[in-house]
Amino acid sequence: METAPPMDLCDRIEAADHRVHAFVPEPGRRARLRREARAAAERWPDPAGRPPLYGVPVGVKDIVHVDGLPTRAGSAVPAEALAGPQASLIDRLRAAGALVAGKTVTAEFAVTAPGPTRNPHDPGHTPGGSSSGSAAAVAAGMVPLAIGTQTIGSMIRPAAYCGVVGFKPTHGRIPADGVIPNAPTFDTVGLFAPDTAALSPAAGVLCDDWRPEPAGGGPGEGRRPVLAVPTGPYLDRAEAEAAAAFEDQVRRLADAGFPVRRVPLPADFDALVARQEVINRYELARTHAEWFPRYGELYREQTAAKIRQGRRIDHEEYASALRDRDRFRDRLTAVMDQEGIDLWITPAATGPAPRGLDSTGDSIMCLPWSVAGVPVLGLPAGRAANSLPLGLQCVARAGADERLLAWGPGIELVLGGPSAPV
């Protein structure tokens, strides 16, 4: 994975970020990174003994606590009110030799009110959200690795819009302590990188009990995974251009020798959406139970409205939604077992990044997989007619993160690799 001397890194950020606005401004970034790089060199003077992420600069979403950097969560709430101990994922990164390049922009409290980040491919279009800054920082070549979080579509959608790889592990696989929550039932820490090859070293550092799979994803097999296209109302949510591109991607994968099946996605999709909203809003309101009464006038209306909705949901409605979520997750696993499915494949977003910066786009294509808590790999998959990137998401069963990343390069090769900004 790419490393960069601190001054080269800062030059790169300064050269690109005045247009993209992926990073939270940080006075003294150069001096801090110089100190951290010097400390790392003193700690690991022998190149042969350096850890796997030595010198790798990492962007960190600004809901993750990092010692020495304030956490503002894209909000006007005072940083001291949001302060907390450093996240253990940052401990792991630093123990592996990584350098925290800086905090990356998030939608307010990782909900939907956008930050200032722009799409590196066209600054008039959204980069997606809520992990907007992390995806854009990787897409613009400022850092080779970035940390994001996904509640519903907060990583895989911006990865698609920005033309980079996004990895959302199984829920809870990367510890989320020290991360300001949105809805803990769904919140998942993940990674952005330019390609799948850059993900495995970082996943091995950050994910609990990581056991790398051999190339090809099957123990000693090297076989191609069985891919499933989910039929029904879910897939109908994709826009015409994205749906046509997806069918072309499916054809190319089949022509390359991947077994492809068309399988109905279980459950009433509209009911699943409604139940997800109940869980999300209820938990969001409780996350902000102390901050919102004190600082509510500082919240943006998009965030405040969702908190108010969550305060009106009673516990029994929430508990019922959780039971429905569990049943959906169990049915999804059962279908994969019955049909011999290794990976579901779908469009990563409803289409290319929408024009304008007032919205982060539609997360609906990510919703079933986030509800189920299963691992997802988002891959660049060509471009739309307006030259903006499109993405494909590959979805494995819970706990099969290693196999998902082992299968990723073969699928990535068929799709054509990452999309550099034009």
DSSP code string of 302-329: HHHHHHHHHHTS-HHHHHHHHHHHHHHH
Which of 292, 249, 276, 289 lies closest to 394, judged by CA?
A: 249
Q: Tell me which H or E stretch contains 72.
A: none
- Joined together, the tokens standing for residue 164 give 């980079």
Q: Is the peptide bond between 130 and the residue preceding it cis, with omega within 30 degrees of 0?
A: yes
Work out the end-to-end distance of the chain between its first and last CA atoms, rounded to an integer number of angstroms.
23
Q: How far apart are CA 396 and CA 117, in angstroms?
A: 30
Residue 387 near residue 421, CB atoms below 8 Å: no
Q: Which of 75, 131, 134, 154 is catalytic?
A: 154
Q: How far apart are CA 73 and CA 107, in angstroms?
A: 8
Which of 130, 136, 223 lies closest to 168, judged by CA?
A: 130
Q: How far apart are CA 28 and CA 320, in angstroms?
A: 50
Active site residue 88: no
39 CB-near residues (< 8 Å, 6+ apart) = none
Report the sign of the C-alpha dihedral through residues 154, 160, 161, 167, in that order: positive
Strand 343-347 and strand 389-395: pairing?
antiparallel
- Joined together, the tokens standing for residue 346 give 């779908």
Catalytic residues: 61, 130, 154
